[in-house]
Amino acid sequence: MAITPPTDRLWWKEPLSKTEITWISIAFAWSIIMFLAMIYWHMTGEQNLSNEAYRIKPEVFAAKAEAMVEQYQVGEEGDTGVPVVHPPPGSDVYLIARLWEWWPVLELEKGQSYRLHLSSMDWQHGFSLQPTNINIQVHPGYEMVLTITPNEAGEFGVVCNEYCGIGHHTMVGKIRVVE
C-alpha cells in the first residue's frame, strides 16, 4: 500500500500495488464510459444544439441584420423603438448582441424552422433563451448559426448570461412565437 511515502524518493520506479492498479483501472473504465455517454447523449438527448460558427466582420453582420429588418419589419416594441420583424418560415433570421440589448425582436411561427444567426458587435455575450434551455456563447467577429423550430407559442426572453458590463442586467430581448 502507498499510505506512507516511499523511502526511495524516485517514486515512479516503485512498483504499483494491487489497490492502485484497481483504482487506476476503475478510473480509466469510468472515463471511457463517460466519454461514450457524452456522444450518445448528444445524438439522442436532444439537449445540445448543433451549430455552425463562421468568422465575420461585425459591420458585415450588422448590414445583414439591418437588411432583414428593412425587409420584414412589422412594428416596433413599446417605447424602446426596437423593431419587430416577422420573417417567412425557412428564412435566415439575424439577432445582434451589443451593449446592452438584443436587436431586433423576432416574431417566428410555431412549427416552422428558421436559421438563427447570432453575433456580437462589441464584447462576448451569452444567448440564453428562457424558459427553454438554449445557451450559446456569442463572440464578436464570429457568427453562430443554429436551426431552430419553435414548438410552442408564446413570448420568450433572451437573456445575456455572460457578464458584459455595468448594464448587463438590462440586456433582455424577446422572441415571440405565434400560431
Tell me the per-residue pLDDT of 43-54, one tens digit each, with 9 for 90 and over. Answer: 787 665 778 999
**pLDDT, mean of residues 60-89:** 94
- pTM for this predicted structure: 0.75
Which pLDDT score is estimated for 14? 77
Roughly how many angstroms between the first and final C-alpha of the chain, as a whole number? 67
Compare 1 and 172 and report the one with higher pLDDT.
172
Say which DSSP state 13 is in.
G
Which pLDDT score is estimated for 2? 61
Q: Kindly report, residue by residue over 17-45, the tens digit of the pLDDT.
A: 899 999 999 999 999 999 999 888 877 87
* Contact yes or no for 96/61 (Cβ under 8 A): yes
**pLDDT, mean of residues 149-165:** 94
Which pLDDT score is estimated for 63? 97
Interatomic CA distance for residues 133 and 172, integer angstroms: 16
pLDDT, averaged across the chain: 91
Total length of the chain: 179
Which pLDDT score is estimated for 123? 92
**pLDDT, mean of residues 89-99:** 95
* Contact yes or no for 97/160 (Cβ under 8 A): yes
Rounded to 5 degrees, φ, ψ at 23 are -70, -35
Task: Give the pLDDT band (50/70/90) at residue 1.
Answer: low
Give me the percent of the chain exceeding a pLDDT of 70.
94
Which pLDDT score is estimated for 6? 64
* Contact yes or no for 160/126 (Cβ under 8 A): yes
